[in-house]
Amino acid sequence: MSTRTNFIKLQPDYNHNGAGHIPYPYWINPETGNVERQDVWKGEPAKLLGFATPDEQFDVALSWHEWIENPDRGTGLLPVFMKADGGIYTLDHPTRGPEKDN
């Protein structure tokens, strides 16, 4: 019998709650922090490191481990990602509230 991991949906809020297109979400593996669906992302991003505040975009204020425990804490913050090549960057759009899905 196989087990199935429930991924957590991380949705960037490019349209700021209602005024435009909603982009493809990031599906985060809660056991590893890895970004799933690499057929779409191709290593950019590869892993969620955590979240920064809009005022301190280069400082991780909430780790992915902390976020997994309470995904609501990431709402409105900026995701900090690592690429497959080791590069680190902060997405410049805040996130919407969390959604869990398979």
Q: Which whole number is the average pLDDT over 68-87?
A: 94
> What's this model's pTM, rounded to 2 decimal places?
0.83
| Of 33, 17, 14, residue with least CA distance to 25 | 14
Contacts 24+ apart (CB under 8 A), 66-75: 68/8, 68/28, 68/30, 68/33, 71/8, 71/97, 71/98, 71/100, 72/97, 72/98, 74/10, 74/98
Q: How confident is the model at residue 61 (pLDDT cuts 50, 70, 90)?
A: very high
